[in-house]
Amino acid sequence: MLTVLTKTSFIYSSVNNINSWVVQLVKQNRARHIYVYNSSHLTPTERVKFFYALKGRNGKPGILDSTQSIFLAKAVISTPKESVTEIEAFLNTWKCKFSTKKTSNEKPTHALIRYSTTQLNASQRVQFVYGMYGRGKSKGIFEKGSKEVLAKSIFFVPLKRLIEVKQFLKSWNCEILIEEVKVNE
């Protein structure tokens, strides 16, 4: 079942983790930066410490709480414009490489899409990935290494591609959340 929130341009499903993402984004209805970071250089122990510092542990808040940032997916954070310095200092402290997309809720140019494939079994997920990137001579909806794929469950596409991507996700019966944003690069 899809529900539409017209005021903030969200389309979302009734999945709990996606709903919590919607609530956080509605509260954060202002200009923000999307950070795509890489923590693969960290050892497994360092990575655990990184995520504790990021998300908090045992009731102690992490940097996400203190900056009112949102963990969108592994390697993707949404942060208010006012907290950019803190988030960048945090990522630099951990020596994480990152890229940034500056967004606002003005006239939208792109769609930030979060999807879930939890309803797919293992072989369906493999077929889903083939549909995303293609296999052999067949093409997928994205090229390998596409900058439109921010993380495993996050796309960032121009509005002109939104219908195509939405149809692909619907064909796989994926739970989706779409937020239309303007990119201020």
Q: Is pLDDT above 50 for 35?
A: yes
Q: How many CB atoms lie within 10 A of CB 48?
A: 12
- Amino acid (one-letter) located at 15: V
DSSP string, 96-159: -EEEEEEEESSS--EEEEEEE-TTS-HHHHHHHHHHHHEETTEE-SS-TT-TTEEETTEEEEEG
Convert the pLDDT of each residue in 91-114 to its tens digit. Answer: 999 999 999 999 887 889 999 999
The pLDDT value recorded for residue 153 is 92
What percentage of the chain carries pLDDT values higher than 70? 83
Long-range contacts of 143-150 (CB under 8 A, 24+ apart): 150/34, 150/36, 150/72, 150/73, 150/75, 150/76
- DSSP lists the bridge partners of residue 139 as 134
pLDDT tens for 147-182 read 999 998 999 999 999 999 999 999 999 999 998 889
d(CA 166, CA 178): 9
Q: 8: how many CB neighbours lie within 10 A of its CB?
A: 12
Q: What average pLDDT does the structure give for the chain? A: 85
Element of type H or E holding 48: helix 44-55
How large is the average pLDDT for residues 26-42? Answer: 81
Which pLDDT score is estimated for 7? 31
Point out the least confidently predicted range of 18-27, 28-37, 74-83, 156-165: 18-27
- CA gyration radius, the chain: 17
